[in-house]
Amino acid sequence: MQLNPSEISDLIKKKIENFDVNVEAHTEGTVVSVTDGIVRVHGLSEAMQGEMLEFPGNSYGMALNLERDSVGVVMLGAYQHISEGDTVKCTGKILEVPVGEALLGRVVDGLGNAIDGKGAIEATETSPVEKIAPGVIARQSVDQPVQLGLKSIDSMIPVGRGQRELIIGDRQTGKTAIAIDAIINQKGTGVKCIYVAIGQKRSSIANVVRKLEEHDALAHTIIVVASASESAALQFIAPYTGCSMGEFFRDKGEDALIIYDDLTKQAWAYRQMSLLLRRPPGREAYPGDVFYIHSRLLERASRINAAEVEKLTDGKVKGKTGSLTALPIIETQGGDVSAFVPTNVISITDGQIFLESDLFNSGIRPAVNAGLSVSRVGGAAQTKIIKKLGGGIRLDLAQYRELAAFAQFASDLDESTRKQIERGQRVTELMKQDQYSPMSVAEMGVSLHAANAGFLDDLEVSKVRDFEAALQSYMKSEEADLMQKINDTGDYSDEIKKGIQAAIETFIKTSSW
């Protein structure tokens, strides 16, 4: 057994010396029944909604149903050792989890305990898992981008800091892949990431952790895990835990990005708890407040203004706004977005990235359906260069979709229609991007400029990606200054425009692909 740093006898001696003996008065109750993780407790007349209750054997439960003669409690973790007649104590506290910088690079469970074998977490602060979202006065509108590093998303469905953008799609359409790319792309930007895995296989979580480690992205990431084998209560609570950890960064004037993967499973866990607590079932057997569990969670993702940050940090941080961006993930069944939970979350969020299995299977990855995906606030946050160039891309694709269906029947098309279809095919090809290779603003700008200025029109469709790869490596080696400038300013001035144009022309003359 390893010796814990806090187990040195001097420290223990001091702790015993300073131990403050006080006669505690608390409220007690007795366990009446234990069924499937739900414990009914008689007594506890002073228990609060959501309060932590202490059970024998150092285990805890959360009071959820307060009734006249009993309290319905959900056990957090194992409940096999609880039996009828056990005493239950009120703690007078709402569930709290550790928060802070110490959690970065760590993998924790739904209660904030380390599960990555790197020792206990030395967090100095704790925070309640359930908090009220910032008020109207504290907020600031979204006007800075979060670059996800994916051409198709950053150009057409931009996400701003403090926005809630839903990633929705069937199983196996690359939802998690987008989230992981987004985390990798935050490396070096100061944006802290939190990845909350709910109801997933432990093996897939291990995979995510390994991939993040490989791409050097674990250092700015907290991973909160409530795997499929953990109790429904922990799966239900994990997103709120992650949110509190993200709010810590938001409230001290930093930016954070949180991914809930996925909220469908959280709703399932909540449905299980509610049915076992005998709350009346509603549509699809979900309880009446399934909308509220998601709306109160996503409302906490927000951008707060400098005055609020100053207030929250007691004046230590001045002139900085804080943000928590949320990317909730929802899994649909057979592309049905009109099911209960998907419609709820679509209506709560500020837009959605819609992924389709047909696109995915035909090789368009990320499989973003550009027609159904929207971002309701991100436009205001886009960098100038991406905004200018992205508009053209969006239009090209929209026109292409309209014509493509109809072009299948007509054999001879007029010149302009044919051109539009060809442009659309090339742009669709250009929007493909490999996993784990997010792009910088400058790289994206160059690719988009090439499409907008018509450089792709003379290429064969199958050559587009080779052309892009060669162009990117050319720009990287020959035009590093220009790229640096674009990345720094994000501008699309005439000078930059001419610079890119000239560089691509030289590249075409001198290189092969």
Known catalytic residues? 376
Q: Among residues 2, 9, 17, 25, which is the contact residue for other proteins, using CB under 8 A?
A: 25
Cα(302)–Cα(294) distance, rounded to whole angstroms? 14
Q: Among residues 16, 132, 137, 405, which is the contact residue for other proteins, using CB under 8 A?
A: 16
Position 221, amino acid: T
Q: Among residues 10, 17, 69, 412, which is the contact residue for other proteins, using CB under 8 A?
A: 69
Position 12, amino acid: I
Is 73 near other proteins (CB under 8 A)? no
Q: By C-beta, is 41 or 263 nearer to other proteins?
A: 41
Q: Among residues 39, 44, 142, 222, which is the contact residue for other proteins, using CB under 8 A?
A: 44
3-state secondary structure 423-477: HHHHHHHHCCCCCCCCCCHHHHHHHHHHHHCCCCCCCCHHHHHHHHHHHHHHHHH
Is 13 near other proteins (CB under 8 A)? no
Q: By C-beta, is 87 or 473 nearer to other proteins?
A: 87
Is 12 near other proteins (CB under 8 A)? yes
Asked whether 14 and 53 are in contact (CB, 8 A), the reply is no
Q: By C-beta, is 15 or 498 nearer to other proteins?
A: 15
Query: Environment class of residue 317 by beta-carbon count within 10 Å: exposed (0-12), middle (13-18) or buried (19+)?
Result: middle
Nearest approach, Cβ of residue 86 and other proteins (Å) = 13
Q: Among residues 37, 39, 40, 303, which is the contact residue for other proteins, using CB under 8 A?
A: 40
Query: Environment class of residue 271 by beta-carbon count within 10 Å: exposed (0-12), middle (13-18) or buried (19+)?
Result: buried
Is 283 near other proteins (CB under 8 A)? no
Q: By C-beta, is 31 or 451 nearer to other proteins?
A: 31
Nearest approach, Cβ of residue 14 and other proteins (Å) = 11
Q: By C-beta, is 26 or 418 nearer to other proteins?
A: 26
| Look-up of token digits 């007649």 | 85
Asked whether 452 and 392 are in contact (CB, 8 A), the reply is yes
Nearest approach, Cβ of residue 109 and other proteins (Å) = 20
Is 415 near other proteins (CB under 8 A)? no
3-state secondary structure 140-169: CCCCCEECCCCHHHHHHCCEECCCECEEEE
Is 102 near other proteins (CB under 8 A)? no
Is 357 near other proteins (CB under 8 A)? no
What is the phi/psi pair of residue 176, to 5°? Answer: -65, -35
Q: By C-beta, is 31 or 225 nearer to other proteins?
A: 31
Q: Which range touches other proteins (CB under 8 A), out of 39-47, 242-250, 384-392, 470-478?
A: 39-47
Is 423 near other proteins (CB under 8 A)? no
Residue-wise over 284-294: b if at least 16 C-beta within 10 A, else e?
Answer: eebbeebbebb
Question: Under rule CB under 8 A, how many of the chain's residues touch other proteins?
Answer: 25
Enclosing H/E stretch for 252: none
Is 45 near other proteins (CB under 8 A)? yes
Q: By C-beta, is 32 or 470 nearer to other proteins?
A: 32
Q: By C-beta, is 42 or 376 nearer to other proteins?
A: 42
Is 278 near other proteins (CB under 8 A)? no
Nearest approach, Cβ of residue 368 and other proteins (Å) = 51
Is 494 near other proteins (CB under 8 A)? no
Position 370, amino acid: A
Q: Among residues 3, 10, 35, 68, which is the contact residue for other proteins, using CB under 8 A?
A: 68
Residues near 262 by Cβ (< 8 Å), separated by ≥ 6?
A: 175, 198, 199, 328, 329, 330, 331
Cα(139)–Cα(306) distance, rounded to whole angstroms? 9
Is 155 near other proteins (CB under 8 A)? no
Query: Environment class of residue 510 by beta-carbon count within 10 Å: exposed (0-12), middle (13-18) or buried (19+)?
Result: exposed
405: helix, strand or coil: helix
Residue 387 per-residue DSSP state: H
Is 59 near other proteins (CB under 8 A)? no
Q: Among residues 17, 67, 414, 494, which is the contact residue for other proteins, using CB under 8 A?
A: 67
Q: Among residues 32, 307, 346, 364, which is the contact residue for other proteins, using CB under 8 A?
A: 32
Is 3 near other proteins (CB under 8 A)? no
> Residue 262: is the preceding peptide bond cis (ω within 30°)?
yes
Q: How many CB atoms lie within 10 A of CB 116?
A: 14
Q: By C-beta, is 18 or 477 nearer to other proteins?
A: 18
Q: Which range touches other proteins (CB under 8 A), out of 63-71, 367-375, 420-428, 473-481?
A: 63-71
Nearest approach, Cβ of residue 278 and other proteins (Å) = 12
Cα(163)–Cα(168) distance, rounded to whole angstroms? 16
Applying CB under 8 A, the residues found at the interface with other proteins are 12, 15-16, 19, 21, 23-30, 32, 40, 42-46, 67-70, 89
